[in-house]
């Protein structure tokens, strides 16, 4: 049990659809992350929120739009995606993004949403 939940677990959408991914953490953490995981590639950090403020946006296309209404919830809004956006989207949380190192910086992951764009 990771304490981080994601819905839906699987999503198939067309290129013209709009959908949203949801993440919720029950660990009392202050930082939340969106990652993209493609086969045989390293995890790609997309967005970071620390205390509800976005602190990282790693050149992600505008068709991905994050929202963090509070420290426990994180959304990823999707619109006009491309087939190459098909991947596993993982949410993670940690105590605080800016801690000065240590095992307490450990990120805890949700099970991911397997996204297929047709």
Cα→Cα distances 72→16, 31, 38, 63, 94, Å: 29, 9, 26, 23, 11
* 86: its two tokens: 């098909």
Give the shortest CB-58-to-other proteins separation in angstroms: 9
Q: Which position has the token pair 């659809």?
A: 17
Residues that bind other proteins (CB under 8 A): 2, 4, 40-43, 45, 56, 90, 97-103, 105-112, 114
Q: CB-wise, 22 or 114, nearer to other proteins?
A: 114
Q: CB-wise, 59 or 100, nearer to other proteins?
A: 100
Side by side, the strands of the sheet bearing 4-7 are 4-7, 18-25, 73-79, 64-70
Q: CB-wise, 75 or 108, nearer to other proteins?
A: 108
Give the shortest CB-88-to-other proteins separation in angstroms: 9
Give the shortest CB-33-to-other proteins separation in angstroms: 9
């Amino acid at each position: 049990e990771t304490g981080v939940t994601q819905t839906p677990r699987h999503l198939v959408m067309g290129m013209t659809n709009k959908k949203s991914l949801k993440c919720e953490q029950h660990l009392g953490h202050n930082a939340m992350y969106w990652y993209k995981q493609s086969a045989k590639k390293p995890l790609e950090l997309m967005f970071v929120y620390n205390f509800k403020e976005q602190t990282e946006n790693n050149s992600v296309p505008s068709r991905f739009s994050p929202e963090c209404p509070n420290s426990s919830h994180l959304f990823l809004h999707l619109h006009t995606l491309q087939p190459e956006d098909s991947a596993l989207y993982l949410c993670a949380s940690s105590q605080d993004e800016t801690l000065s190192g240590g095992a307490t910086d450990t990120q805890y992951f949700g099970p991911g949403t397997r996204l297929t764009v047709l």
